[in-house]
């Protein structure tokens, strides 16, 4: 079954480009587009939608933009996965997007394939950050974590097992385990449960995402 998508962006050229790019992806169906939050909410009220791809800065709509719009969408459509496609470069703003409950963020200068991966991840309640977003968020850390270590910590914080992380990133479980423990050593973390606290403190995930993602039992290695 196709993933049914609504795209929202206040720049018509970008909106058309994203639509054209996703139309070429197998298994994806664009059911509507919107130029502001008003049109976006109207589209979501009319169509059965699996994932929303939206710009972050999209003024002019009845429901605002930025964190205010995301908050409204979270309240009105609490189970609807969101992907934020943005040109925002401020790390604190990016962190605020995560705190608002969005765990799939793609930079507008990143490859189109990243957006497709983010949509697939969002559809199945997984997190995804494109390369440029990860690079910016690394500035939040007080230690020198590698890009791959950041990816692994983020996925663990969203409740993924090392097996699932290895499959998604196309790495061996041993490699994922090594990257996890290397990051924990740099951060001075002793237990896997502390990763969730650290991710929350750094604004990489929201409290509700940690509550949903944290496993009840022990980690798988």
Query: Per the structure, how many domains does the chain have?
Result: 2
For residues 4 and 123, give the distance between their C-alpha atoms in angstroms, rounded to a whole number: 10
**102-136 confidence digits (pLDDT tens):** 989 999 999 999 999 999 999 999 999 998 888 87
DSSP state of 140: G
Q: What's residue 92's pLDDT? A: 66
For residues 183 and 144, give the distance between their C-alpha atoms in angstroms, rounded to a whole number: 9
**26-69 confidence digits (pLDDT tens):** 999 999 999 999 999 999 999 999 999 999 988 888 998 888 89
- Express as a percent the part of the chain with pLDDT over 90: 53
Q: What's residue 187's pLDDT? A: 80
Q: At what angle do helices 91-99 and 66-76 cross, to 10 degrees?
A: 10
- Over 50: is that where the pLDDT of 218 sits? no
- Over 50: is that where the pLDDT of 216 sits? no
Do 199 and 151 share a structural domain?
Answer: yes
Whole-model pTM over 0.75: no
Do 180 and 104 share a structural domain?
Answer: no
- Cβ burial of 112 (10 Å; 0-12, 13-18, 19+) is middle
Banded model confidence at residue 217, pLDDT cuts 50, 70, 90: very low
Do 18 and 70 share a structural domain?
Answer: yes
Q: What's residue 215's pLDDT? A: 46
- CATH number, residue 192: 1.10.10.10
For residues 39 and 77, give the distance between their C-alpha atoms in angstroms, rounded to a whole number: 15
Q: What's residue 107's pLDDT? A: 93
Do 79 and 57 share a structural domain?
Answer: yes
- CATH number, residue 125: 3.40.50.2300
Do 82 and 182 share a structural domain?
Answer: no
The answer to whether position 218 is within a domain reads: no
Range of the domain at 150: 141-213
Q: How many CB atoms are closer than 10 A to CB 186?
A: 15
- Over 70: is that where the pLDDT of 90 sits? no
Residue, of 157 and 206, whose pLDDT is higher:
157
Do 158 and 88 share a structural domain?
Answer: no
Tokens of 197: 């606290």
Do 60 and 12 share a structural domain?
Answer: yes
Do 101 and 160 share a structural domain?
Answer: no
**134-166 confidence digits (pLDDT tens):** 887 776 655 567 778 878 888 898 888 999 999
């Amino acid at each position: 079954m196709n993933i049914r998508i609504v795209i929202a962006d206040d720049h018509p050229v970008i909106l058309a480009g994203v639509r054209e790019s996703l139309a070429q992806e197998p298994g994806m169906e664009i059911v509507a587009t919107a130029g502001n939050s008003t049109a976006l909410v109207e589209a979501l009220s009319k169509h059965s939608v699996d994932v929303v791809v939206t710009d972050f800065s999209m003024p002019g709509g009845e429901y605002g933009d930025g964190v205010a719009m995301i908050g409204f969408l979270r309240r009105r459509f609490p189970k609807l996965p969101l992907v934020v496609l943005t040109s925002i470069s401020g790390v604190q703003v990016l962190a605020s997007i995560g705190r608002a409950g969005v765990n799939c963020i793609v930079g507008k200068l990143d490859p189109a394939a990243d957006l497709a991966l983010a949509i697939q991840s969002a559809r199945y309640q997984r997190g995804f950050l494109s390369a440029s977003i990860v690079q910016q968020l690394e500035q939040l850390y007080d230690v020198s974590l590698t890009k791959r270590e950041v990816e692994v910590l983020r996925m663990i914080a969203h409740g993924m097992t090392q097996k699932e992380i290895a499959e998604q990133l196309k790495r061996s479980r041993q490699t994922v385990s090594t990257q996890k423990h290397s990051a924990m050593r740099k951060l001075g973390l002793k237990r896997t449960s502390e990763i969730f606290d650290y991710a929350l403190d750094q604004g990489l995930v929201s409290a509700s995402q940690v509550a949903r993602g944290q496993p009840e039992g022990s980690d798988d290695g």
